[in-house]
Amino acid sequence: MSSSWTEAREGVRDIAPAAIAAIPIGALFGALATAKGLSVAEVALMSAAVFAGGAQFAAVEIWRFPAPVAVLAFSTLLINARHILMGASLAPKVGALRPWQRALSFGIMADENWALMERRALTHPLSASYVFGMGAFFWVSWQIWTCMGALAGSFMGNPRAWGADFAFSALFIGLIASFWKSRTSSRARPADPRSGFGGRVVDLVAGFWKGSATGVTVVASGLAAALAYRWVGPPWHVAAGAVAGIAAAALFSGGADVNASADQPEAGPVAEAREEAAS
């Protein structure tokens, strides 16, 4: 087996849990879209060409007949503006890809495969085989399940009754935790002397405050997004939360200098950044 085949298989393996979790989400989207009055062909076209779950759900929410093209485009822009930051963060890690491969692979960059590419880049250089194995598998499965949902439509019953509407949130919480873990495990921490569940909770909380800018980011982003959602309305919450979370990470990394001296030495992205800032 060539190593590129192995890389592609690893891409599929890594995205498989997200692809499975996306099954009810895709089916739910297809069912909602056809209930709104879109045809199965239109659902298929949107899933293939847009391939962005959040923007697609929001579009169905505001869809009218005739379609308000400018409103739909603007809503899509607001929700997907996060891709600009995501792409800028990922771009330096795809140096091994040819220009056309970059242009194509960034065209199928969704939250899930982007998050997993970022995670992969922490330990391995990204190859075209990995990126396209992962991306193609995720794209094809999104087409299949949104179309199935559109065809099945009202046969699915109430998705809330079986928790399908929460699968999306649960999937994203899992991805956030994998980033959080990658930050805390990358720093040298002495073994915790406490034992038992209470000790582990204390350790978790201590790791949160001492070690991880991720926790601060998650709290700031979540609160800002929830407030923006309540007081301004969708789709502004995405931009508000992202900006607040990133600003909090920047403030945390600076403010931590003041009281970091008493803590154990740290390694990892934040500490590296701190060292760079100090030099």
Alpha-carbon distance values, 150 to 16, 39, 137, 174 (Å):
22, 8, 20, 27
Q: How far is the CB of 2 from another protein (least distance, A)?
A: 27
Q: How far is the CB of 28 from another protein (least distance, A)?
A: 12
Residue 5 vs 178, nearer CB to another protein: 178
Site for another protein (CB under 8 A): which residue of 149, 180, 187, 211? 180
SS3 string, 154-212, reads: HHHCCHHHHCHHHHHHHHHHHHHHHHHHHHHHCCCCCCCCCCHHHHHHHHHHHHHHHHC
Site membership for another protein, residue 33 (CB under 8 A)? no
**Coil, helix or strand at residue 118:** helix
Q: How far is the CB of 205 from another protein (least distance, A)?
A: 12
**Total residues at interface with another protein (CB under 8 A):** 112
Residue 8 vs 216, nearer CB to another protein: 216
Residues in region 189-218 near another protein by CB under 8 A = 204, 213-214, 217-218
Q: How far is the CB of 201 from another protein (least distance, A)?
A: 9
Site membership for another protein, residue 238 (CB under 8 A)? yes
Residue 66 vs 265, nearer CB to another protein: 66
Alpha-carbon distance values, 138 to 4, 107, 229 (Å):
18, 13, 29
Residue 7 vs 111, nearer CB to another protein: 111
Query: Would you say 48 and 143 are in contact if contact means Cβ atoms under 8 Å apart?
Result: yes
Site membership for another protein, residue 249 (CB under 8 A)? yes
- In sequence order, the 6+-apart residues with CB closer than 8 A to the CB of 96 are 125, 126, 127, 128
Task: Please give the torsion angle defined by the CA atoms of residues 79, 49, 97 and 178, in that order, rounded to the nearest 10 degrees.
Answer: 40
Question: How many beta carbons lie within 10 A of that of residue 237, not counting itself?
Answer: 21
Q: How far is the CB of 193 from another protein (least distance, A)?
A: 20
Residues in region 63-122 near another protein by CB under 8 A = 63, 65-70, 72-73, 76-77, 80-92, 102-103, 106-107, 109, 111, 114-115, 118
Site for another protein (CB under 8 A): which residue of 52, 128, 150, 156? 52
- In sequence order, the 6+-apart residues with CB closer than 8 A to the CB of 206 are none
- In sequence order, the 6+-apart residues with CB closer than 8 A to the CB of 43 are 29, 30, 33, 34, 146, 147, 149, 150
Site for another protein (CB under 8 A): which residue of 12, 151, 176, 206? 176
The rounded distance, in Å, linking the Cα atoms of 279 and 273 is 10
Question: How many beta carbons lie within 10 A of that of residue 88, not counting itself?
Answer: 9
Site membership for another protein, residue 28 (CB under 8 A)? no
Determine the interface stretch with another protein among 3-11, 134-142, 144-152, 240-248 (rule: CB under 8 A): 240-248
Q: How far is the CB of 264 from another protein (least distance, A)?
A: 19
Q: How far is the CB of 178 from another protein (least distance, A)?
A: 7
Q: How far is the CB of 227 from another protein (least distance, A)?
A: 9
